[in-house]
């Protein structure tokens, strides 16, 4: 008998928790479109983390405004330093 738990034991009744990371850099329109798509998912055990990777345009303001108006709850992280793709996703 293994000490490891089966997938069904750790996933819970609604399936495993899934985290989606969406990285933005100077393209709030596409990122907002991505958020809207994730909000339409039928899968309930899901959370969205949006990372703005130190955009130099008005993306951060657009994302903050969208977040305050959206009925879909997501986490918004605003980076002051652009760490590149890898850092933004970690």
22: Cβ contacts below 8 Å, ≥ 6 apart: 31, 34, 35, 38, 48, 49, 50, 51
pLDDT at position 1 over 50: no
Strand partners, 78: 52
54 conformational bin, left if phi > 0, alpha if psi -120 to 50, beta if neither: left
Considering the entire predicted model, what is its pTM? 0.82
**Which pLDDT tens digit goes with each residue over 44-68?**
899 999 999 999 999 999 999 999 9
Could you tell me the pLDDT band of residue 4, with boundaries at 50, 70 and 90? Answer: low
């Amino acid at each position: 008998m293994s000490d490891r738990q089966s997938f069904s034991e750790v996933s819970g009744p609604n399936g495993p928790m899934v985290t989606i990371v969406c990285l933005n850099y100077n393209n709030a329109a596409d990122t907002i479109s991505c958020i809207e798509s994730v909000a339409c998912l039928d899968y309930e055990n899901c959370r969205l983390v949006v990372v703005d990777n130190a955009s130099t345009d008005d993306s951060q303001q657009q994302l903050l405004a969208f977040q305050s108006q959206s009925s879909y709850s997501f986490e918004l992280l605003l980076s002051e330093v652009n760490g590149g793709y890898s850092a933004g996703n970690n």
